[in-house]
Amino acid sequence: MNITVSAFAASALSAAALLFAPAAHAGADASCHFHGSKPAAEATVVGCATQYKNQLVAGSKVDKSWQDIAKPEKVEQIEGKKGKEWRITFRNPAVTDKAKDTLYLFYSLPGNFIAANHTGQ
């Protein structure tokens, strides 16, 4: 009987620990959230940038024509405010406002999103 009570107590404690544990980081871009300092592969960052660009389209932050741009024009590592970072450049000739025909997405070297803009800064 002591073994059954002990097993029950251990199960109850495990369940309680799970109940009060912080929620896992899950969202539409959960696959693009990284920990550590190891640089992400270029293909990984391009995939995350493409996914984020599509989220900007879905959220009406950029014109719908950006959805048709499948590949970035340029992928590079640049010197950012806090060290090296990725800059992914998409160009969209279909945009009527030529000041917004280029979309830049910035990621930390491990692959976490930093910012998106049309200036490249």
The total of other beta-carbon atoms located within 10 Å of residue 24's CB is 6
Residue 2: band (very low, low, confident or very high) from pLDDT cuts 50, 70, 90? low
Bridge-based pairing of strands 74-80 and 83-91 is antiparallel
The structural domains of the chain, with segments of one domain joined by +, span 26-117
Amino acid at 20: F
pTM over 0.75: no
pLDDT in tens, 88-114: 999 999 999 999 999 999 999 999 999
For 114-118, what is the mean pLDDT? 96
pLDDT in tens, 6-62: 444 444 434 333 333 333 333 344 578 888 888 999 999 999 999 999 999 999 999
